[in-house]
Amino acid sequence: MMLSAAALAHRELLKFWRDKARVAGFAAAPLLFWLVVSAGFNDFARFYSGSIALALMFSAVFSNMTLIDDRKEGFLAGVLVTPAPRAGIVLGKVVGAAALAWLQSLVFLLFLPLAGLKPGFFGVLACLGILAVIALLFTLVGFLCAWRMPSTQAFHGVVNMLLMPMWMLSGSLFRFGEAHPWMKTAMALNPMTYGISLLNESLGMEGVFSTLLSLSVLAVWTTGLFGIALFWVGRSDHATA
């Protein structure tokens, strides 16, 4: 299983390096958003973690567009008929795309001095780990969307409709404690809220939820989505559709 997963992950990395414009495309817009909005509010720290999350979410999800191309080119169907375990196929695609998203999000860490944040060595390490968990979670979201979508146009539409509300309800734009009660309920159901809480804590800011609760919620969501991915790939009825 690990051999097939490593081969597919390596393939994702190679495809990425052959299309380097994706780096600028996914990282530049959230970076520009952070600079403009933060300058407007004269508070570069407040929107920092949310901007990292925005870059990470979009990069992780949209990296799975290659899955649609693989299906159209017949590569996916060819992989599914090999003896490789289905878990290895899912793991390889997901880990490869998540690694790319994680690497692109690291661009934001270069702007820590501008944000006025001083998390220290262990804070940066914690931030790197949290970013990896978020990347894995949203890569699975993108994988599931891409597995069911018939075209990249449909994928774009569904993903944009899903991601922006999740990001806006994560505490990136407004604080959890200041929200209306019904909005707090929606935010509490959003896994990204717990990711933002963990990022804020690692960067030296106040988190909304406890570390244990946030990690538990992210672990449950990630495990659940991975299980769904395994089930769908096991059926394989969308491999050639």
| 240 within domain boundaries | no
CB atoms inside a 10 Å sphere around CB 235: 10
Rounded Cα distance between 170 and 186, Å, is 9
In the predicted model, is pLDDT for residue 210 greater than 80? yes
| 185 within domain boundaries | yes
Q: Which helix (DSSP H) or strand (DSSP E) does residue 231 occupy? A: helix 211-235
Quick one: pLDDT at residue 75?
Answer: 54
Range of 147's domain? 2-235
| 99 within domain boundaries | yes
pTM for this prediction: 0.83
Quick one: pLDDT at residue 231?
Answer: 86
Enter the tokens of residue 43: 């508070």
In the predicted model, is pLDDT for residue 149 greater than 50? yes
Angle between the 120-148 and 152-168 helix axes, to the nearest 10 degrees? Answer: 140
| 241 within domain boundaries | no
pLDDT tens-digit profile of 181-195? 888 899 999 999 999
Quick one: pLDDT at residue 239?
Answer: 47
Q: What is the count of structural domains for the chain?
A: 1
User: Position 135: which residue type?
Assistant: A
In the predicted model, is pLDDT for residue 52 greater than 70? yes
Query: What single-letter DSSP state applies at residue 57?
Result: H
Q: Which helix (DSSP H) or strand (DSSP E) does residue 110 occupy? A: none
| 84 within domain boundaries | yes
| 108 within domain boundaries | yes
Rounded Cα distance between 2 and 95, Å, is 11
Mean pLDDT (the chain, rounded): 80
Contact 80, 238 (CB under 8 A): no
Q: Percent of the chain beyond pLDDT 70? A: 77
Quick one: pLDDT at residue 240?
Answer: 46
pLDDT tens-digit profile of 90-122? 777 788 788 888 888 888 888 888 888 888 889
Length of the chain: 241
Model confidence at 134, in pLDDT bands (50, 70, 90)?
Answer: very high
| 103 within domain boundaries | yes
Quick one: pLDDT at residue 15?
Answer: 58
| 197 within domain boundaries | yes
Contact 26, 62 (CB under 8 A): yes
Quick one: pLDDT at residue 221?
Answer: 95
